[in-house]
């Protein structure tokens, strides 16, 4: 099992855990919690692989499903339901960074153009959270706060830029992941957002 694979499993677990907690907070039943956890954690990678002409990783890697089930089990065992707190927010940010780098790097390995790699890295990172919020009837975090999309985009651009100047991919991935984390942490700490459209009266 490679380091990248371990990190992929960890990000899957983190996204599934956050998804399960959000679903539990909305009062969904066990099946609903499991479904939202799965959607939150594997839909981004599934969509990316579909665009790349690959099988979804959860079909060929049972450890992915195991990670999702473990997150659901933890949520059900620890029944105290709370809104996503700081620890889960930190974990979610780490998962965002890993997913962004995983999607971008895999795209390059498949011979995708630099701009395609950036977009697929972004898709890998944000799709699960977007669908999670929509299915749980929440205003999607991606669309109005915390600069999740911006963080993933900046990280993917960093990876691609370093890759284009022949920096080793492992180093580029660490740097890109750090940019994702730093951008999101700064945006949350200082309550920074993208400009919002103001309708003229």
Rounded CA-CA distance 188/48 in Å is 27
Arithmetic mean of pLDDT, 54-58 = 91
For the chain, what is the mean pLDDT?
Answer: 88
pLDDT given at position 54? 93
- Are the beta carbons of 183 and 151 closer than 8 angstroms? yes
Q: What is the tens place of the pLDDT at every residue in 25-34?
A: 899 999 999 9
Average pLDDT over every residue of 87-100? 87
Structure-block tokens of residue 155: 């990280």
Predicted confidence at residue 157, as pLDDT, reads: 97
pTM exceeds 0.85 for this model = yes
177 band by pLDDT with thresholds 50, 70 and 90 = very high
Tokens 């011979």 locate to 111
Q: Which of 34-48, 102-116, 181-195 has the lowest mean pLDDT?
A: 181-195
Q: Which residues contact 48 (CB under 8 A, 6 or more apart)?
A: 103, 106, 107, 120, 123, 124
pLDDT at residue 1, as a whole number: 62
């Amino acid at each position: 099992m490679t380091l990248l694979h371990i990190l992929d499993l960890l990000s899957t677990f983190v996204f599934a855990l956050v998804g399960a907690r959000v679903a539990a907070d909305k009062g969904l039943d066990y099946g609903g919690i499991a479904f939202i956890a799965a959607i939150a954690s594997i839909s981004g990678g599934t969509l990316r692989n579909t665009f790349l002409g690959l099988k979804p990783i959860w079909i060929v890697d049972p450890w992915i499903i195991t990670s999702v089930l473990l997150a659901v089990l933890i949520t059900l065992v620890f029944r105290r339901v709370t809104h996503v707190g700081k620890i889960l927010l930190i974990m979610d940010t780490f998962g965002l960074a890993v997913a962004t780098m995983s999607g971008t790097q895999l795209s390059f390995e498949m011979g995708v153009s630099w701009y395609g790699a950036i977009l697929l890295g972004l898709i890998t990172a944000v799709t699960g959270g977007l669908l999670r919020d929509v299915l749980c009837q929440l205003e999607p975090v991606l669309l109005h706060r915390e600069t999740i999309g911006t963080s993933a985009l900046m990280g993917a651009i960093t990876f691609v830029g370093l890759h284009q100047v022949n920096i080793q991919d492992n180093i580029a991935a660490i740097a890109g992941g750090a940019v994702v984390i730093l951008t999101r942490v700064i945006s949350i700490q200082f309550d920074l957002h993208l400009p919002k459209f103001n309708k003229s009266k």
